[in-house]
C-alpha cells in the first residue's frame, strides 16, 4: 500500500502539485502529474506552462477548495476533459461535456489523411457522419479554408456542443449541422468529395472491460457499436455510395482489431474501391479508406 503523501506547511502551487500527484498516483490514476497540472491550471485560469513560473505563489483558500473538489471528482471516475470542459485536438481546443465523446489523439490520424486528400481540391464538399463534439468537421473546416462541411448527428445535445465549437473557431459559416441518424438528413444535399466518420465501435460484450471513466461517464450512444461493434460500419458501407462523388473518399476510424472486418464490409459494395488502412501514432490500424468507383 502506498503511504499517504505528506502534508506541506505552506500550500504553494509547487507543493499542491507535488502532493496531488502523489495522491492521484496512490489512487492509480493514469498520468497523475499531468492531470494534477491540467486541473490546477483550470482552477487558476491559466495554462499548464503558467504553473511553472508561478511555483512559489499560494492559491487562495477558495481556489484550493475548488481544486480539491475537482480532484475528488477525478478520483471518483470523472474524466478530466469533462471536469475542465475542454480537450485539445489537432491544434485546437474543443468544448466537451457528457453529451459528447472526448476527442482522442487516434482520430487525428483520420483528420491528417482527410486534409491530405482535400488539399488539391477547390471548394470541396465534406461530410462528417456522427460529428459528436465536431472535432473532425471543425478541424477540417479550420485547415481547409474553402471547404464546405456538413455534419450530422442523432443527438441534439451533441450538435449543440459541435455548433459551439464551430463558432469558437470561426468556421460556423462553412459548417452545416443536421440533426438525424447517419445519412437520413441529407436528402437533396448533393454529393461529397469526402465522407469521414468515427462511429460507435465498442462491442456490447466489451463494455464491462472498459475503463470506468469511459464506461460510466462518456455517452453510450457514441460508444455502442452493437453486439459485435460493427453495426454502424454495415450501415455506412451500405449508405455511403450514393452520397460520394466519383473518386470521392470514404475514411472510417475503426477499433484496432476491426480492420479486416470493416474492409470486408466495404469490399462487398461494388461501388467502392477499398484502399489502404492507416496506422495511428501508436502503430495500430486505425483508419480504413475507400473510394467511390
Annotated binding residues: 130-134, 153, 198-201
Which of 160, 105, 171, 108 has its CA nearest to residue 138? 171
Binding-site residue set for substrate: 198-201
> What span, in angstroms and rounded, lies between the C-alpha atoms of 246 and 194?
10
Q: Which three cell numbers stand for residue 46?
A: 491559466
CB-count burial class (<10 Å; 0-12, 13-18, 19+) for 128: buried
> What span, in angstroms and rounded, lies between the C-alpha atoms of 115 and 194?
10
Q: How many residues does the chain have?
A: 293
Binding-site residue set for S-adenosyl-L-methionine: 130-134, 153, 198
Q: Which three cell numbers stand for residue 58?
A: 499560494
Amino acid at each position: 500500500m502506498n503511504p499517504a503523501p505528506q502534508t506541506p506547511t505552506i500550500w504553494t502551487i509547487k507543493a499542491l502539485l507535488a502532493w496531488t500527484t502523489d495522491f492521484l498516483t496512490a489512487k492509480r490514476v493514469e498520468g497523475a502529474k499531468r492531470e494534477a497540472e491540467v486541473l490546477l491550471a483550470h482552477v487558476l485560469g491559466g495554462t499548464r506552462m503558467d504553473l511553472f513560473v508561478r511555483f512559489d505563489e499560494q492559491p487562495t483558500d477558495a481556489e484550493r477548495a475548488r481544486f480539491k473538489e475537482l480532484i475528488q471528482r477525478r478520483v471518483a471516475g470523472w474524466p478530466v476533459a469533462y471536469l475542465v470542459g475542454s480537450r485539445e485536438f489537432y491544434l485546437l481546443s474543443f468544448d466537451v461535456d457528457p453529451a459528447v465523446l472526448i476527442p482522442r489523439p487516434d482520430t487525428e490520424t483520420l483528420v491528417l489523411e482527410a486534409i491530405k486528400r482535400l488539399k488539391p481540391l477547390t471548394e470541396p464538399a465534406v461530410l462528417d457522419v456522427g460529428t459528436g463534439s465536431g472535432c473532425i468537421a471543425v478541424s477540417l473546416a479550420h485547415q481547409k479554408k474553402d471547404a464546405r462541411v456538413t455534419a450530422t448527428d442523432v443527438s441534439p445535445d451533441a450538435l449543440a456542443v459541435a455548433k459551439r465549437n464551430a463558432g469558437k473557431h470561426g468556421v460556423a459559416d462553412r459548417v452545416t449541422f443536421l440533426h438525424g441518424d447517419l445519412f437520413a438528413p441529407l436528402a437533396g444535399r448533393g454529393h461529397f468529395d469526402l465522407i469521414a466518420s468515427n462511429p460507435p465501435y465498442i462491442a456490447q460484450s466489451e463494455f464491462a472491460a472498459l475503463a470506468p471513466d469511459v464506461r460510466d461517464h462518456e455517452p453510450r450512444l457514441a460508444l455502442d457499436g452493437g453486439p459485435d461493434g460493427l453495426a454502424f460500419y454495415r450501415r455506412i458501407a451500405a449508405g455511403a455510395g450514393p452520397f460520394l462523388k466519383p473518386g470521392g473518399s470514404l475514411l472510417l476510424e475503426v477499433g484496432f482489431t476491426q480492420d479486416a472486418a470493416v474492409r470486408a464490409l466495404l469490399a462487398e459494395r461494388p461501388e467502392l474501391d477499398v484502399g489502404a488502412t492507416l496506422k495511428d501514432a501508436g502503430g495500430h490500424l486505425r483508419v480504413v479508406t475507400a473510394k467511390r468507383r
